[in-house]
Structure 1
Amino acid sequence: MRAFVDPDLCIGCTQCAGICPAVFTMEGTLAVALVGEIPGEEVPAAVDAAQACPVSAIRMEES
């Protein structure tokens, strides 16, 4: 599974980085996702983080 953050939608609320810091980090005022495949043990937290995004800026895709 892979995660993508739309920089045009992200409002920099930091929720995703707080829920799943192994996959999401903040670069300045915007969130970014780990490039590439999410480690299997991090997938549940990454999905939770995507669902918690208040502006639906995170897209999860099956690899």
Structure 2
Amino acid sequence: MRRPFAHEFVLVLAPGGDERAPGAAITAALCGRWEHPPPCPQATCPASPPPLRYRARGGGS
């Protein structure tokens, strides 16, 4: 029987580090490159915006 497992981590960037770098690395690993026009050829690409119900709410624009 399969059971879900949630991974949690804390990522600490070096001072002056680019906060976009971790997301770009994940996208490159999944898609083969991090910079491409939408739509992404991979259905689960993090470069594609998530459905509205999964987006963070509040605290900014």
TM norm structure 1: 0.30
Which has the larger Rg?
A: 2
Which structure exhibits the higher relative contact order, with contacts defined as CA atoms closer than 8 Å and separated by 6 or more residues?
A: 1
Q: By percentage of residues, which structure has more strand?
A: 1
* Greater share of residues in helix: 1
